[in-house]
Structure 1
Amino acid sequence: MQTIANAFKEEYRLAMMDPGDAAEERRKQRPGYVAPGPMEEGDGTTAVAVRTQTKSTFAKGWEAIATKTGLTSVFSKLQGLKRTPAYQKTEDALEDLRERWETSENPMVHKIQDSVDGFFQETEQGEAYRAIRARAPTFNINDFLAEVRRDVPKILGAYLKGDVDALAMTNVSNEMMERMSGQMRAWEAEQKFVDPRVLHLGDVELVETRMMEGAPLVVTQFQCQQINCVRDASGVIVEGAEDDIQAVHYLWAMQLVDKELVAADGRKYVAPTWVLREMMLRGMMAVAA
């Protein structure tokens, strides 16, 4: 399933790097990087044939979600904080100084650098945790991750089934609801039906905690196993196979917002609620049989 893996690697690069080439530049700067040479023609049975690859229906759907309606990805915003003109101007001016600082062999320099890095990281995360505690005093990170893990099959299942009503009953943000329902309608119009089963779900891990747009945001990651099988309206498989199991890697960004809820007696009230603000595939690869 190299086609699918390559498609999602490219999607992730575009969404995260905001169509720049920063990721490629960082790769080129790594020690030991060797620029690729020209492709030589081969012959015989050992020759490698290069052909144009097409994205899977699943990949196209996720790419559409990332760009539909012009909404900016949360993950793009996380990266984009360092792309403002003011930041870039300062970054350029201090480039030489930073290089000398980072390559210094002075132990004191390294000690100071570690302290400064830790200070800013703790300050940013600390601000987010204080905001969480203020709005949800009983918050516990382990309980939070367990709750996200319980919600994953519900949200993914509703999305892949094309069940808008079921998806609306889950804790997804208005932005995600709009984008996901739009893609579900597109699949319905094309008469394509994706296998909705989640065969296995791994542990949900914490990636980052920070403030965004005035509300705390928690980024998590996890891996699950799904079936890459797409059928048409008559049930004929048009892509993948029933036994094409893929390990899919996700990033989920959960944000604490005020949401209107309905009590058992029908009374409406507003309470702080964790909603899925953004999700993105980091990649997918075939599971060995």
Structure 2
Amino acid sequence: EEAAADDALVVSMKHDSTWDKFGTRLRDMPFLRNFFENPYFGKLFGETEIGKCLREMKRIDPAFRLAEFHDTIEHVVAPKLVQAFLEGDDDLMKLQCGDAAYATVHGVFQERVKQKVDLDTSILLPPRAVELKGARSKGEEEAPCFVWTFKTQQINCLRDKKGNVVEGAIDDIREVFYAIAVVKHPEPDRQGLEFPWQVEELAIVGSNSVW
């Protein structure tokens, strides 16, 4: 787990993309920041805690299966979150995020509106390399929190409202690394939910040029 945290930290030190200005970063998310930047913290909430929290989930929900959880993150949660984040879909984020995460994401969306810019919404390759990296127990009365990481391929390009490129380039292809912390949604039957998980934290860890 320490090695994984170190790798993520190397990536997170790149600050040369449009997402650094108009995205949620590790510094905005306290639990994820500590998880990736503090080796001891990452180890504490690593494999041993994952096992404990998976057992807690089975106790809370006997039908819970890790394989199904992984598939849901890869094929539903991650792609819908990334698309909503790039498009500035405030309504979906409000439904799917906890209060703290939504406040941060909403602030990012408002800054884009203020600056009259839009991120490129193209997702060239869907979320992949999806991994359960850590977990945190919240006690017997609450469902545990799980940390997932994944990467996508996107275009590092910022446009004004007329569609003109103001930063980056249409051929600046990046591998973008994300981290999310999710818990079982407290209102799984709430109208409009895209998935039964609530996002506690969401951060772009960093990006690497593809070519």
Q: What is the TM-score normalised by the length of structure 1? A: 0.57
Aligned to 2:3: none
Higher share of residues assigned strand: 2
- Residue 172 of structure 1 pairs with residue 97 of structure 2: yes
What is the CA-CA distance between 1:128 and the residue it aligns to?
Answer: 1.4
| Alpha-carbon distance in structure 1 between the residues aligned to 2:191 and 2:15 | 48
The C-alpha deviation readout for 1:257-289, integer Å capped at 9, x for no partner, is 42263369xxxxxxxx4212112223211112x
Number of aligned residue pairs: give it: 193
RMSD: 3.2
The C-alpha deviation readout for 1:155-197, integer Å capped at 9, x for no partner, is 111121122123334x322221111011001111001110112
What is the CA-CA distance between 1:131 and the residue it aligns to?
Answer: 1.8
Aligned to 1:5: none
| Alpha-carbon distance in structure 1 between the residues aligned to 2:15 and 2:102 | 27
2:56 to 111, 126, 131: 131
Aligned to 2:5: none
- Residue 73 of structure 1 pairs with residue 30 of structure 2: yes
What pairs up with 1:117-196 in 2 under 5 angstroms? Answer: 122=48, 124-149=49-74, 150-169=76-95, 171-196=96-121
What is the CA-CA distance between 1:65 and the residue it aligns to?
Answer: 7.4
| Alpha-carbon distance in structure 2 between the residues aligned to 1:63 and 1:139 | 30
Question: Is contact 2:148–2:181 with CA below 8 Å preserved after alignment?
Answer: yes
2:157 to 205, 215, 229: 229
| Alpha-carbon distance in structure 2 between the residues aligned to 1:217 and 1:248 | 23
Aligned to 1:220: 148
Question: Is contact 1:64–1:183 with CA below 8 Å preserved after alignment?
Answer: no
**Using a 3 Å threshold, how does the CA distance of structure 1 residues 284 and 126 change in structure 2: closer, same or farther?**
closer
Question: Is contact 2:57–2:64 with CA below 8 Å preserved after alignment?
Answer: yes
Q: What is the TM-score normalised by the length of structure 2? A: 0.76
Question: Is contact 1:208–1:220 with CA below 8 Å preserved after alignment?
Answer: yes
- Residue 199 of structure 1 pairs with residue 124 of structure 2: yes
| 1:154 aligned partner, one-letter code | K
Question: Is contact 1:225–1:248 with CA below 8 Å preserved after alignment?
Answer: yes
- Residue 281 of structure 1 pairs with residue 204 of structure 2: yes
What is the CA-CA distance between 1:80 and the residue it aligns to?
Answer: 6.9
| 2:20 aligned partner, one-letter code | A
What is the CA-CA distance between 1:64 and the residue it aligns to?
Answer: 6.2
The C-alpha deviation readout for 1:45-66, integer Å capped at 9, x for no partner, is xxxxxxxx98443112336674
Aligned to 2:175: 247
Higher relative contact order (CA 8 A, sep 6+): 2
Aligned to 1:60: 21
**Using a 3 Å threshold, how does the CA distance of structure 1 residues 132 and 63 change in structure 2: closer, same or farther?**
closer
| 1:210 aligned partner, one-letter code | R
Question: Is contact 2:149–2:177 with CA below 8 Å preserved after alignment?
Answer: yes
Structure 2 spans left out of the alignment, 5+ residues? 1-7
| Alpha-carbon distance in structure 2 between the residues aligned to 1:129 and 1:263 | 27
Question: Is contact 2:188–2:197 with CA below 8 Å preserved after alignment?
Answer: no
| Alpha-carbon distance in structure 2 between the residues aligned to 1:183 and 1:158 | 12
3-state secondary structure, aligned to 2:136: strand
3-state secondary structure, aligned to 2:150: strand
